[in-house]
Amino acid sequence: MPKLNGGEKGQGYRALSKGLIDFTLISTLTFSLFYTVTTSSDHDTRWDETVPIIIGTVLFPATLYIFEVIQSVVNSIRNSLIQRRRHVGAIDHLDTSMTRFEDKQRKKRKPVSKSMVKLAVNSVGSWFAYAKLSITFMMNNSCLTLLFWDTIKLILWLVTITYWRRNAHTDDWDFSLTPLNIYRLHYVSLSLTNTELCLFILGAADIKDVLCSPLFWVNLFILPPITLFTKLTIFRHLSFFQIYLMLGFVRWVKCFRKLHDRVAQKSVVLLDRIINLLNVGIERKIHRIWRIGIGIFLIASAFASSMYVLQGVHPVAEKSNQFVYSLSHFGEFFYFSFITFSTVGYGDMTPLTIQAKLIAVCFVSCMLVWVPYEVNNLIQAFGGKNRISGHISTWGAIGPFILLIGEVDPVQLSLFVFKNYYAGANLKIIVLTNINIEAYDMQINQARLLRQSLCIINDEVGLNGNIDILHTIKANQAAAAFVLSTFKDQDVRKMDMKAVARVIGLKKFGCVGDNVLVQFCSPIGPQISLHSFGNIVSLYRVKMALIAKNITCPGIITLIINLSLTHNAAVPKDTTEETRQRDTQLYKSYLMGIGKCVRMCEIPDSLIGVSFETLCSNLYMCHGYITIGIMRNDTPYRSYTLNPAGHGYIIKEGDKAILVADSTYTKSMHRDIVSAGRSSSLAVRASVINMVMQQLSNTADEMEPISKRLSEVDHDDIYHNAPTERQPGGTFAQTNKSVAEHQHSVNSIVVTSVTFACNYVFEKPSKPIIAIIGYSAFVPQLLCYFEELGQFNVVIFGMEVSLKMNINVMLRFKSFLAVIDGDPMRKHDVNRAELYKACYIYVLPSPPLNNPGESDEEQDLRTIVTYRQLKSIMQVNASENKINNPYSNIFSLVELHSASNVAYLDDRKWSAWNVFDKRLDPSLSYIHSAEFSMGQFISDEMLYSLSMNTMVINDDYTIYKILLHLGSVGDPNKKHKGVKLISIKDISMESSKRTFGNLFNYLFCKMNQILIGIYRVGAEPMDNCVICAPPQNFYIRHMDMVG
């Protein structure tokens, strides 16, 4: 037999000890239950005692199941009628690599003959494990069931005390008038409580969860084991069952605990909905007053009940209605509880016995602690900062969840909430952040409206942090942990350093590195990270690569962001005029392209041995899936090859296909999307693609060879020339006399115009010139990247820009950098700088010199006005100077802090481009903007989607690397050069055959190029947009560019 390691032995010992303790506790509780019931009365038979116990034992699980079904039905109706939630099947949110590993292990297993005894034992073990899991799940959602039965038990006890009689508080209670049916109902009640506690013990993951639960001890106090202690110390003359009746007031305490832990959370949600419905301006924090009021009522009722038991009087000769008399006498003690808790003490009522005085001391002590605590929370709720929003379950183990740690940007949290909603993943989102919870008010409302479980905790797990919080939420059991940094800080490097400290905390806590993803936003992130732990996503590197790539490949930003999104944009109804029909169809094609994304799919064993060309061609021709590469199984972990066409690559066992494909949805789902006004389901369903793969594998032998398919393609020659690069040399020769006479310092990079920079600064003036408008801390980092590429000359232009930077440090880039001071809002300064001679203009937020702490909103406003003014000036200059550049309207880029502000860059309307669409996820509102569709816009918020393409880390990290590879700038030393743009004018092809499908076959068959999208170039600015993987019949214009 295989030997067990230390961890497995420890788990076995803990499971054995837990089982023994469970058996001991449940046996003791059950035995004491039968003993208490059988000795309760001499007037009932054993049948009268046994049947109620059995009924109570069966009734509690049955009602637990019934309430669970009712809650499920209500939630389904509410989701379908209010939320219009789509039922998504076969979600691909589980790690496919794990599935493949399990399949391999299953193939390796050999059938072993087992005896009937072993099979029976295994069946019993499996049934027990399933039953325990079901119990844990139901007990985790048993709030309404427990509230229902505790209310019934309280009513039964209040009815029972009306039959008690005594003439003075010094006399003993006479229980002889209590009907036999009341006894039987109490037998059922006692059995219900015993069953509840036994199921809680069985469902708990650890014995510490049982012993540390206040409800366990409250339940135990009213069960028979405690009555033995009470009988021996206080009520020696009473029977066990009579003592059980005397301790009935403890049920008020149990309700108080349940309200404080459970019901308060649901009542808070209900109260919030009522307040939102009334819209009277009352803060939702008012629910704390509701909690204090209900808590005082329950504690006062518990104290009044105990005082009634200890010194209440109900004379035998009393002729009035027993219920009215008992209720009025109970009301007197209720009044006494309030004047006692308020420490007023009028003296009209006092505790008369030692037991009553002890009870009064206990209750007053509890109120002196609890009331100030709740009042302090109330004050903090209105005047202080919240420390937690949401709820973490205390019954059994926490359900499946993902963990977000660090400076979580509210926009990125919205992406996670909507991702979880559209995927139907049903994962709880727990956020550990040091950002004020008030900053996430919109995200909390989104989660509440979408019925998503969101818990935000204001805490830190890095240096000087609270590591105990990781134990509380059981961080090592998270399905995925995201350690996130943010761009929204003046010192991004400091944010990345904090992220590293949090990663170290997770590693020391025992989290698995493969389930941790670390997001960095500065250049030092990857260098200071733990390379052996976690997966690194450098958004800083992605941002610089996309900006540089967008210079030579316009639209790459839109393409990469679209491929990283996990949402589909809602396609509007076709309600426009016939004159706008063409624009509407183009707009719909653009929105359909947003639904494309990069996914990986298992390749069936029956397709092993075919060439990559055969697989790619047949997948596209038959099903429209664009295969861009292979995730290889014969190379190191997570190694992939993009476009191995022409290299004779043969599909091997364990390989995965890397696809660009869209979402699959039915007509009914489409109608639901349009009527509900929400986006369609996310990404590609693995089951659908696997079904396609299986269909192909079933006919693998009948597949036509790739050579035959190539012979059927039109034999027109395809001539491909690189896009003509604009050379500014001819224009630079026209120098201004005043510029020529200017005395230039040899070591200075501050100049007055582009011409002057080309003559005296740039080592290679023929390189394309990039004009950066403004200056921020990101610019030096971008210059380092440009220095590494060595393909561009750079001019930095802005108001007092030379004073914002350290010129001595910037001299490092003297070979390709020049600085021009000027106001971009003044036409004279723009003309003097000759910015129209630059082939690319990049406008970024730039804080003024006299106000470096300017807010993001003010910087965005300044950037928007600058961009609009500069674009207008540049268009006039291009016309006046006769710049021969038909694509001048697309060679620019503007950056904003907030992606939602992109709508203010353009005041023209085309369908829904510039209209804020409430049907869309607010964090993705930028996709309807004209600038984003053309690839002219970038924002840090757009890059967050690269960190959470899926809820599982493994494949997601590979997709991130693939997208970074596609957006990288070409290097002559590298085999792969990312996406490149090809002009349709450079491809010789008949106009009648210029569809995307035919062009895909041309490029793939003749040049081994894989076409994944087009850049639509039209005569009007609004006709320009990036369309990712359009339909095969999409017509290509002669001005378009493809990549």
Per-residue pLDDT at 697 exceeds 70: no
Reported confidence tier of residue 795, pLDDT bands at 50, 70, 90: very high
225 and 266 in a single domain? The answer is yes
Q: Does residue 4 lie within any of the structural domains?
A: no
- Contact present, 503 and 518 (Cβ < 8 Å): yes
Q: Does residue 185 lie within any of the structural domains?
A: yes
Distance CA 503, CA 155 (A): 53
Alpha carbons within 13 angstroms on the beta-carbon side of residue 368 total: 8
Distance CA 1032, CA 1043 (A): 15
Which range is least confidently modeled, 13-17, 26-30, 438-442, 932-936? 13-17
Q: How many domains does the chain have?
A: 4
Distances from the Cα of 697 to the Cα of 606, 643, 649, 652, 702, angstroms: 5, 21, 18, 14, 10
Distance CA 337, CA 349 (A): 10
What was the pLDDT predicted at 976? 55
Q: What is the CATH classification number for the domain harbouring 471?
A: 3.40.50.720
Residue found under tokens 């309280």: 154
Reported confidence tier of residue 223, pLDDT bands at 50, 70, 90: low
- What tokens does 765 get? 């003036």
Distance CA 853, CA 139 (A): 52
- Contact present, 822 and 772 (Cβ < 8 Å): no
- Contact present, 25 and 201 (Cβ < 8 Å): yes
Q: Which residues pair with 631 in a beta bridge?
A: 640, 656
What was the pLDDT predicted at 118? 67
Which range is least confidently modeled, 330-344, 352-366, 473-487, 580-594? 580-594
Most confident residue range from 88-102, 505-519, 829-843: 829-843
- Coarse DSSP helix, strand, coil percentages of the chain, rounded to the nearest 5 percent: 55, 10, 35
Strands 1013-1016 and 1025-1028: antiparallel
Q: How many CB atoms within 10 Å of residue 236?
A: 9
Distance CA 917, CA 587 (A): 14
φ/ψ of 631, rounded to 5, equals: -85, 110
Per-residue pLDDT at 674 exceeds 90: no
Most confident residue range from 332-341, 663-672, 815-824, 946-955: 815-824
449 and 431 in a single domain? The answer is yes
Q: Which residues pair with 517 in a beta bridge?
A: 482, 535
239 and 347 in a single domain? The answer is yes
Per-residue pLDDT at 1021 exceeds 70: no
Q: Does residue 695 lie within any of the structural domains?
A: yes
952 and 929 in a single domain? The answer is no
What was the pLDDT predicted at 252? 65
Which range is least confidently modeled, 156-165, 425-434, 502-511, 642-651? 156-165
Reported confidence tier of residue 666, pLDDT bands at 50, 70, 90: very low
Most confident residue range from 130-139, 177-186, 274-283, 622-631: 622-631
Reported confidence tier of residue 818, pLDDT bands at 50, 70, 90: very high
Identity of the residue numbered 842: Y
931 and 958 in a single domain? The answer is no
705 and 799 in a single domain? The answer is no
Which range is least confidently modeled, 485-494, 691-700, 821-830? 691-700
Per-residue pLDDT at 80 exceeds 50: yes
Q: Does residue 905 lie within any of the structural domains?
A: yes
Helix (H, G, I), strand (E, B) or coil at 796: strand
Distances from the Cα of 597 to the Cα of 567, 658, 829, 1031, angstroms: 9, 10, 44, 15
Q: Does residue 412 lie within any of the structural domains?
A: yes
Reported confidence tier of residue 132, pLDDT bands at 50, 70, 90: low
Per-residue pLDDT at 703 exceeds 60: no
What was the pLDDT predicted at 421? 77
- What tokens does 1030 get? 């359009």
137 and 228 in a single domain? The answer is yes
| Percent with pLDDT over 90 in the chain | 2
| Interacting residues of 620 by C-beta distance below 8 A, sequence separation 6+ | 626, 627, 997, 1000
Considering only residues 55 and 826, tell me which one the structure prediction assigns the higher pLDDT: 826
| Percent with pLDDT over 70 in the chain | 61
Phi-psi region of 703 (alpha: psi -120 to 50; beta: other; left: phi over 0): beta
Most confident residue range from 93-97, 462-466, 872-876, 1027-1031: 1027-1031
Per-residue pLDDT at 997 exceeds 80: yes
Distances from the Cα of 777 to the Cα of 414, 772, 774, 783, 845, angstroms: 27, 13, 11, 11, 10
- What tokens does 697 get? 């594998």
Distances from the Cα of 803 to the Cα of 283, 774, 808, 822, angstroms: 48, 12, 11, 12
Per-residue pLDDT at 568 exceeds 90: no
796 and 933 in a single domain? The answer is yes
Task: Tell which of 324, 348, 383 closes a domain.
Answer: 383
Per-residue pLDDT at 365 exceeds 70: yes
What was the pLDDT predicted at 794? 92
Distance CA 1030, CA 999 (A): 12
pLDDT tens digits, one per residue of 938-991 = 888 888 888 776 555 555 577 788 888 888 775 545 555 678 777 777 777 665
Per-residue pLDDT at 710 exceeds 50: no
pLDDT tens digits, one per residue of 504-543 = 888 888 888 778 888 888 877 666 666 667 788 888 888 8
Print burial letters for 755-772: b (CB count within 10 Å at least 16), e (below 16): bbbbbbbbeebebbbbbb
DSSP state of 81: I
Which range is least confidently modeled, 511-520, 771-780, 805-814? 511-520
Task: Tell which of 383, 401, 434 closes a domain.
Answer: 383
Question: Once rounded to an integer, what is the mean pLDDT over residues 452-472?
Answer: 79
Per-residue pLDDT at 797 exceeds 90: yes
Q: What is the chain's mean pLDDT, rounded?
A: 70
What was the pLDDT predicted at 248? 62
Which range is least confidently modeled, 56-70, 390-404, 873-887, 919-933? 873-887
Distance CA 844, CA 779 (A): 9
Q: At what angle do helices 287-311 and 264-278 cross, to 10 degrees?
A: 140
Rg (CA), the chain: 36
Distances from the Cα of 371 to the Cα of 285, 338, 378, angstroms: 17, 13, 10
DSSP 730-775: HHHT---HHHHT----TT--EESSHHHHHHHT-S-TTSPEEEEES-
Per-residue pLDDT at 275 exceeds 70: no
Which range is least confidently modeled, 190-204, 316-330, 862-876, 947-961? 947-961
What was the pLDDT predicted at 97? 32
Q: Does residue 571 lie within any of the structural domains?
A: yes
513 and 592 in a single domain? The answer is no
Domain that holds residue 844: 745-946
Distances from the Cα of 1016 to the Cα of 959, 1013, 1026, angstroms: 26, 10, 6
Per-residue pLDDT at 1037 exceeds 50: yes
- What tokens does 961 get? 């690397």
- What tokens does 895 get? 């950056």
Q: Across the beta sheet with 1013-1016, what order do the strands follow?
A: 982-983, 1041-1042, 1013-1016, 1025-1028
- 66-69 — which CB contacts under 8 Å span 24+ positions? 67/142, 67/144, 67/145, 67/148, 68/138, 68/141
Considering only residues 464 and 763, tell me which one the structure prediction assigns the higher pLDDT: 763
395 and 330 in a single domain? The answer is no
Question: Once rounded to an integer, what is the mean pLDDT over residues 620-642?
Answer: 79
Distance CA 691, CA 677 (A): 30
> Could you give the angle at the alpha carbon of 570 between the alpha carbons of 565 and 576, nearest 5°?
140
Most confident residue range from 174-188, 735-749, 824-838, 869-883: 824-838
Strand ranges inside 381-427, DSSP E: 388-389, 401-406
144 and 257 in a single domain? The answer is yes
For the question of whether the overall pTM of this predicted structure is more than 0.85, the answer is no
Most confident residue range from 2-11, 616-625, 759-768, 900-909: 759-768
209 and 333 in a single domain? The answer is yes
- Contact present, 988 and 719 (Cβ < 8 Å): yes
What was the pLDDT predicted at 819? 93
Distance CA 339, CA 345 (A): 6
Identity of the residue numbered 548: A
What was the pLDDT predicted at 353? 75
pLDDT tens digits, one per residue of 110-123 = 444 456 666 776 67
Strands 656-661 and 597-602: antiparallel
Reported confidence tier of residue 889, pLDDT bands at 50, 70, 90: very low
Which range is least confidently modeled, 174-183, 219-228, 354-363, 699-708? 699-708
Task: Tell which of 881, 916, 946 closes a domain.
Answer: 946
Reported confidence tier of residue 821, pLDDT bands at 50, 70, 90: very high
Distance CA 645, CA 73 (A): 52
Q: Does residue 739 lie within any of the structural domains?
A: no
Look at residues 272, 73, 87, 74 and name the one whose alpha carbon lies nearest to residue 676: 87
Considering only residues 753 and 80, tell me which one the structure prediction assigns the higher pLDDT: 753
Distance CA 543, CA 560 (A): 11
Distance CA 650, CA 608 (A): 8
Burial status of residue 1020 (CB atoms within 10 A of its CB: 0-12, 13-18, 19 or more) = exposed
- What tokens does 240 get? 């066990």
Distance CA 799, CA 830 (A): 11
Distance CA 713, CA 711 (A): 5
Question: Once rounded to an integer, what is the mean pLDDT over residues 315-331?
Answer: 77
Q: Where are the alpha helices (DSSP H) in 113-221?
A: 116-140, 143-161, 180-203, 207-211, 214-221
- Contact present, 146 and 215 (Cβ < 8 Å): no
Question: Once rounded to an integer, what is the mean pLDDT over residues 75-90?
Answer: 46
Question: How far is C-alpha 453 from the geometric centre of its chain's CA atoms?
Answer: 10
Q: Does residue 117 lie within any of the structural domains?
A: no
DSSP 910-976: -TTTTS--TTS-GGGGGGGSHHHHHT-EEEGGGGGGGG-SSSSHHHHHHHHHHHHHHTSPP-TTSS-
